[in-house]
Amino acid sequence: MNNTENQTVTRKHSHVEICLHADVGFSGKSAGFDRIELEHNAVPEINFDEIDLSTTFLGRRIGYPLMISSMTGGYEEAGRLNRTIAETAERLQIPLGVGSMRQALENSDYRETFSIVRSMAPSVPVLANIGAPEVARGLSREELMLLTDIIDADALIVHLNPAQELFQPEGSTMFRNLLDKLRRITRMLEVPVVAKEVGCGISASAARRLVEAGVTIIDVAGAGGLSWQKVEEVRYLRQFGEDTRFSPGAIDELLDWGIPTARCLVDIAGLKHTDPSCKDMTVIASGGIRNGIDIAKAIALGADLAASAGALLKALHQERLEETILTWMNDLKAAMFLTGSATIDELRKTRTFLKQG
């Protein structure tokens, strides 16, 4: 393993450690769900036990409107983590994404930490993952096939992370021609491409440009959950001791940079209603999802399903992953009962309001 490959493995391990143990959440803003409330229905005309939480994603019926979002892969311990994640996803019949597969392109040492996911989750949607800097540099057809073949992927996530790369000690900020390269990928691949931010959000205007490039699924991954700028700042400070790259008056705003998740959903819902070219795109809500009420609000604001990585990563390490997901789904079911929504499609029609005060 050369130095670059070893650096990737070390970075992946440190990312998980920092997310678990450091204070890397947004401090100046929330995902926005705390400002939203759902309209109560005093005559729901449904039975709680008959509420159906299933929905469809990537042409498959899934048990709940939740995806276990991209976490890890590419180092030894990641194989164990991904096995548990995949086993849980299979039992609950929900989709999952793997972490960035850049390391799988660099060498074959840890490809089984990704392939274990499909072995343990044969019947649910599984999504491959590669970063925007790799896309901008250019990926060959052979590399794309490798990414999807390793896990027999149902879709490819391209994670958009300019703020993370800006703060990452070894990051790449070469994003020119990304959309052109992305358009080439969507034409070459036989599976859909998901455009996913990593915590700074996708605006309506950015979503329109992504759809024009052939993307069919948008994961807004808005501000309010983990700040990957803060994750990389922790790594930078550990390496260099201090950060003199930015002025004291700017760094706090940069570390909290991003569009709150709820605002992304509202803006993209408006885009779907006004732009015929965007009306069929699938929208995933992630970034600061804390419970099933947040999921209910996200769906009412226009999401097709929700996704979580940070909160579920902590639950995974506490050996409470499945318990946490099922508790969230009971939260969701409660919100559906109180809004008179027997199905996820009915929940999408629920009115939302800004909280007073």
Known binding site for Mg(2+): residues?
165
Q: Which residues are annotated as a binding site?
A: 11-12, 69-72, 100-102, 129, 164-165, 196, 288-290, 309-310
Q: What pairs with residue 307 in β-bridges?
A: 67
Helix H, strand E, coil C: the string for 29-69 is CCCCHHHEEECCCCCCCCCHHHCCCCEEECCEEECCCEEEC
CB half-sphere exposure, 137, CA atoms < 13 A: 9
Q: Which residues are annotated as a binding site for substrate?
A: 11-12, 100-102, 164
Residue whose C-alpha is closest to residue 322's, from 57, 18, 76, 90: 90
What's the CA gap between 228 and 214, in Å, rounded?
Answer: 26
What's the CA gap between 294 and 282, in Å, rounded?
Answer: 18
Residue whose C-alpha is closest to residue 70's, from 155, 134, 170, 172: 155
What's the CA gap between 210 and 221, in Å, rounded?
Answer: 15
What's the CA gap between 108 and 261, in Å, rounded?
Answer: 36
Q: Which residues are annotated as a binding site for FMN?
A: 69-72, 100, 129, 196, 288-290, 309-310
What's the CA gap between 126 and 141, in Å, rounded?
Answer: 20
Is the separation of the CB atoms in 321 and 309 below 8 Å?
no
Dmax (CA) for the chain in angstroms is 65
Q: What pairs with residue 218 in β-bridges?
A: 195, 283
What's the CA gap between 326 and 192, in Å, rounded?
Answer: 28
Number of H helices, E strands in the chain: 16, 12
Token pair 């649910």 in the structure block, residue: 124
